[in-house]
Amino acid sequence: MTAKPTKDELRLLSSRDRLLHLIYTQQLSRGLLEDLFVVAEKARGMYASGIGATFLQNCLPNKRALLYFVQPSTRTFLSFQSAAEILGISTARVTSTSTSSEAKGETPLDTVHVFAMYHDLIVMRYPEAGFASKCAQYFRERDLPKHIINGGSGMDQHPTQALLDVYTLHREFYRKGGIDGKRILVAGDLARGRAVRSLIYLLSKFEDVKMDLVAPASLGLHDDIKEHMHENEMPFRESENLMDFIGEADAVYMTRVQDEYDDVEPGGELDYDRFSLTPASLDAMSPNCAILHPLPRRSEIPVSVDSDSRARYWEQVENGMWARVALIAHVLECDLRIKTA
């Protein structure tokens, strides 16, 4: 999310109202998000019946996808693979560059061009953050009708994680007036967690969302995203203790405080309880509050919380698959067929 695409760049990634590629979280407008949520809900409803599942599997009989995951991420990989297969798209996998022809002096763009001759969609997780965008431009220049979805490249952009997080909030608040006007608490490592940054960015597209930020002093949210909140008139409060705000939250988005904390704050011992769901914080939390987490978790959400009726983080995993179904359907243009089925 640090990567800031220019307007020209963003324009090239779309054609009219449709994304050709999803590279940046910034491409997800509120209108597009809501459209994707409708497709995701429709698809998961259809899939529950054999007839509906068969319909979905026959939506894209002449499309093939490559999962090009040079950076490993088992769960994002499996989520995209399942999403593609729900739509009847066969998937191939390439998980390293070492066996490819780059050793023979081929450029990374040539390698991707070869892959694109066999596939219509490339889901890409690549160490160099800007590479997915470079590929999208390359296809555009050559008029190649190929599509790229960023599966979490580099340190800063993972747009489908942002999409699934907001989709989870959308489902949660669907019968409670929607996301508009809600108060969302985010806790943990807000400095390095790209998920939180992207979530706040997307929530700024809704009306009157209020943010509460809870992090150790040295792991607070960076100034750029705070400025973004100011510009979008999005009120926020800050604290170093979950207990300060938890009673008012409509949803709590927990994240992991990583081991590396000790390197950041060599002097002090961190009181992890202040950033974890303890019995006290669960007591203080409203009975309707939703608990989210991008996973993997550690002690910030004890396993005992799994049976708490407010836990949404497992459902959130499944939501990720359905959000990706909707996204692939959008990019490959079978979303209308699904919506009108």
Which residues of the chain form contacts with a second copy (CB under 8 A)? 47-50, 52-54, 57-58, 61-62, 64, 66, 72-75, 78-79, 81-82, 85-86, 90, 92, 94, 99-102, 104-107, 110-111, 113-115, 117-119, 142, 256, 258-259, 295-298, 303, 306-307, 314, 317-318, 321
Cβ distance to a second copy smaller for residue 58 or 288: 58
Cβ distance to a second copy smaller for residue 27 or 258: 258
- Nearest distance, CB of residue 187 and a second copy, angstroms: 17
Cβ distance to a second copy smaller for residue 90 or 208: 90
Cβ distance to a second copy smaller for residue 12 or 59: 59
Edge-first strand order for the sheet with 210-214 is 236-239, 210-214, 183-187, 251-254, 290-292
Cβ distance to a second copy smaller for residue 176 or 298: 298
- Nearest distance, CB of residue 261 and a second copy, angstroms: 13
Cβ distance to a second copy smaller for residue 244 or 273: 273
Angle at 315 between CA 197 and CA 69, to 5 degrees: 60
- What is the C-alpha separation between 13 and 289, in angstroms, rounded? 37
Place of tokens 């497709």: 39
Q: What is the 3-state secondary structure (H, E, C) of the chain?
A: CCCCCCHHHHHHCEECCEECCECCHHHCCHHHHHHHHHHHHHHHHHHCCHHHHHHHHCCCCCCEEEEEECCCCHHHHHHHHHHHHHCCCEEEEECCCCCCHHHHCCCHHHHHHHHHHHCCEEEEECCCCCHHHHHHHHHHHCCCCCEEEECCCCCCCCHHHHHHHHHHHHHHHCCCCCCCCCEEEEECCCCCCHHHHHHHHHHCCCCCCEEEEECCHHHCCCHHHHHHHHHCCCCEEEECCHHHCHHHCCEEEECCCCCCHHHHCCCCCCCHHHHCCCHHHHHHCCCCCEEECCCCCCCCCCHHHHHCCCECHHHHHHHHHHHHHHHHHHHCCCHHHHHCC
- Nearest distance, CB of residue 97 and a second copy, angstroms: 9
Cβ distance to a second copy smaller for residue 78 or 217: 78
Cβ distance to a second copy smaller for residue 203 or 219: 219
- Nearest distance, CB of residue 209 and a second copy, angstroms: 27
- Nearest distance, CB of residue 322 and a second copy, angstroms: 11
Cβ distance to a second copy smaller for residue 15 or 58: 58
- Nearest distance, CB of residue 254 and a second copy, angstroms: 14
- Nearest distance, CB of residue 109 and a second copy, angstroms: 8
Residue 251 backbone phi and psi in degrees, to 5: -150, 145
- Nearest distance, CB of residue 235 and a second copy, angstroms: 33
- Nearest distance, CB of residue 320 and a second copy, angstroms: 8
